[in-house]
Structure 1
């Protein structure tokens, strides 16, 4: 990004020098902290709350890798906290070997491999007080962030911390089932029976695998109830009915602003499904003052956030977010979790603004990409040089034309005109 290039202008030269000297090419600690944007600090601070034997920490994790987190978890164990871990353990899987390596030396009674033919995709931790030998859950940390270098530093991700004992209890109940050794089939049966996904609750925790795709149906229902707008960030291939619901009908009156990151492309949607664009992650040139961008991460998913905000600009927004990839595999085969948060504009603002930050980043890059320099047929300022502003106010016309998505954008995101 331009912000990273401004903040750390010498990083690329330092990495190149390290390469020439045969040293590890590691980003400096201040650059990593900047890339984390507080995410790592939230995870480690959460774990650090397990301060002594009066606390318990139960972790369900897909990728157990990042040393800064692993050290903090081991520190909780060394402080006497009651720590247990369920980890992804698909037979013959490289991630299984990595998890086992990083958990070597742990007391075996505190570990439980999750044997699966799919993905144990959870990344949650439940913090509990220990009273009379029993756990009294206090808080849960969850979200989309894998405990890896890429998850913390190189991808767009979120961490949720719900300081809600009743929500933490639902996660703890599932953890106890997993730690007790339930297989995937038994877990699916338990979730089918114990995870009803009520439609009238302000905060709902959902889990998979399940057998009925009730989660996908619920997501579609919530998205289809959009009256003003749908904002979304998704990763990987979506279930067809989810994709159809997010994109809506061509030229409908719901603003649809989002990013879909599949392994080979980031696709943006600009107000409507008919205005999609393929965004580039890196640019070689830009407007005046553009700084060279050279630092790159390995190819793959850049936007790992799984987030939908329905009716963001209303007083009754709905937020859906977690580890769930909004796919059939996530519903019926993987271990997943997510939160549905209804009617909380303050929370929706946090997610919606982050989503728009990512969207604006990639929309800007699409506009500057040399491949997109041909004049657009709908350009209200036809004839202007590529990548220049309109010389007069012609560009504002559609924003005041009744029935246009530009007018809806102005009315929903801007202040009323008086």
Structure 2
């Protein structure tokens, strides 16, 4: 069933997988396919790709076309689950080697995973553009998970990611990466017309550097002038100071917090799921999984698809406060994986980009907060509003109420 624009009602209308994928993949799918198509059409362009999960058909087709033309270098994860004979990544490697050379693709996994999702576009061997983020180049990454993709059209950033690729290309390079210059250093990018001010760190790190980076981010989250925290993270129960600081601020009534995780379970005590409570200033933390999938008409029952709903890894700090920043990328923000996985973590200090991520957090939290609320209580709420027992606007105007704080946050310049 889908909405028919001609009849202006829900009808059973035939549609193709391509139409379904275009709708589900939305902006991220469009940007990635455009990135690849641009590279294919211009014969002076080449591509370097880090891939973890890789099975999205259109992406695979375009990558294999570039491989056939010897315009693709790839690092493809071969950790557990990806190295079996029937794994899509192994099948892709087989197809790749039918049209290109063994020195154009390297399978590997650092200490644990080759977890980056990166494409670097080069024009006549000079890096010009880079695509990165949390989205895997897979059907889950595009059509099941909530993810983000960022494209930088800046030569300095592109050169950095191209050099990181070269320093990772091959087993020996992966083994020694955490003691190399790229993992040991914070890479500062100054604001220009083509890039925001930001810091890039790449993993795996040794323990000392992982602690240094995590402590810096935790300090920012817990600063006394922190006004708001908005987030969408795959798992906020992992060990590490960043996620510990995040959980701490959720219960801090002096900070507006609004976030979502993919944690499974509905027991507040065990899983720390905080839904909105009237007259409370405590923040909201909702879960995207472990909730009932039975929705009212016309939605019906959501299929039990295997895979994360929330695959994002981002935290916004001070969306409306001093020094707004967003932490994002492929890093799961967990201390152990930061010392084992090939990852990148971006600290972006740009109000427009921070705002875009803040809106994404609000969108996801509002949707899944409704999903976490019992349908019976939602029905009663609508009846009460219609009967005039309680005005929907009351909570937004009551001092000390979380919704009132949210309204004021939106109004703040």
TM-score range, shorter chain: 0.7 to 0.9
SS of 2:373's equivalent in the other structure is helix
TM-fit CA distance, 1:274: 6.5
TM-fit CA distance, 1:245: 1.5
TM-fit CA distance, 1:350: 1.8
Are 1:210 and 2:205 matched, yes or no? yes
The verdict on how the C-alpha distance between 1:85 and 1:193 changes in structure 2, with shifts beyond 3 A counting, is closer
Instruction: Tell me whether 248-257 or 355-364 shows the greater mean CA deviation.
Output: 248-257
TM-fit CA distance, 1:195: 2.5
Inter-partner Cα distance in structure 1 for 2:303 and 2:3: 14
The equivalent of 1:228 in structure 2 is 227
How many matched pairs? 380
Cα shift readout 1:263-299 (whole Å, capped 9, x = no counterpart): 557946658666545566554354xxx3132351423
CA contact (8 A) 1:54 1:129 kept: yes
Instruction: Tell me whether 239-248 or 348-357 shows the greater mean CA deviation.
Output: 239-248
Inter-partner Cα distance in structure 1 for 2:9 and 2:233: 28
In the alignment, which of 10, 13, 35 is matched to residue 12 of structure 2? 10
CA contact (8 A) 2:2 2:12 kept: no
Q: What is the correspondence of 1:3-42 to structure 2 with a 5 Å cutoff? A: 10=12, 28-42=17-31
Q: What is the correspondence of 1:157-306 to structure 2 with a 5 Å cutoff? A: 157-190=147-180, 194-196=184-186, 202-211=197-206, 212=208, 213=210, 214-225=212-223, 227-236=226-235, 237-249=237-249, 250-263=251-264, 267=273, 270=276, 276-278=285-287, 283-286=293-296, 290-306=297-313
CA contact (8 A) 1:52 1:76 kept: no
Inter-partner Cα distance in structure 2 for 1:335 and 1:268: 33
Are 1:62 and 2:66 matched, yes or no? no
In the alignment, which of 62, 68, 74 is matched to residue 64 of structure 2? 74
CA contact (8 A) 2:256 2:283 kept: no
CA RMSD of aligned residues (A): 3.3
Q: What is the correspondence of 1:339-350 to structure 2 with a 5 Å cutoff? A: 339-342=346-349, 344-350=350-356
CA contact (8 A) 1:285 1:292 kept: yes
Are 1:413 and 2:413 matched, yes or no? no
The equivalent of 2:364 in structure 1 is 358
TM-fit CA distance, 1:113: 1.4
CA contact (8 A) 2:253 2:283 kept: no
Instruction: Tell me whether 291-300 or 57-66 shows the greater mean CA deviation.
Output: 291-300
Are 1:88 and 2:77 matched, yes or no? yes
The verdict on how the C-alpha distance between 1:109 and 1:185 changes in structure 2, with shifts beyond 3 A counting, is closer
In the alignment, which of 306, 318, 323 is matched to residue 311 of structure 1? 318
Instruction: Tell me whether 156-165 or 181-190 shows the greater mean CA deviation.
Output: 181-190
Inter-partner Cα distance in structure 1 for 2:31 and 2:401: 42
In the alignment, which of 122, 126, 130 is matched to residue 128 of structure 1? 122
The verdict on how the C-alpha distance between 1:200 and 1:34 changes in structure 2, with shifts beyond 3 A counting, is closer
The verdict on how the C-alpha distance between 1:392 and 1:8 changes in structure 2, with shifts beyond 3 A counting, is closer
Cα shift readout 1:78-109 (whole Å, capped 9, x = no counterpart): 4x46310011123xx23123212112123211
The verdict on how the C-alpha distance between 1:28 and 1:227 changes in structure 2, with shifts beyond 3 A counting, is same
TM-fit CA distance, 1:389: 4.1
Q: What is the correspondence of 1:318-329 to structure 2 with a 5 Å cutoff? A: 318-329=325-336
SS of 1:359's equivalent in the other structure is helix
Inter-partner Cα distance in structure 1 for 2:292 and 2:10: 16
TM-fit CA distance, 1:415: 7.3
TM-fit CA distance, 1:186: 1.0
Q: TM-score normalised to the size of structure 1? A: 0.80
Inter-partner Cα distance in structure 1 for 2:16 and 2:292: 18
Cα shift readout 1:49-97 (whole Å, capped 9, x = no counterpart): 224442221001112211100111122234x46310011123xx23123
Unpaired stretches in structure 1, ≥5 consecutive residues: 15-25, 375-383
Inter-partner Cα distance in structure 2 for 1:7 and 1:28: 22
In the alignment, which of 109, 113, 117 is matched to residue 107 of structure 2? 113
CA contact (8 A) 2:131 2:150 kept: yes
Instruction: Tell me whether 397-406 or 250-259 shows the greater mean CA deviation.
Output: 397-406
CA contact (8 A) 1:282 1:293 kept: no
Q: TM-score normalised to the size of structure 2? A: 0.80
Inter-partner Cα distance in structure 2 for 1:109 and 1:240: 37
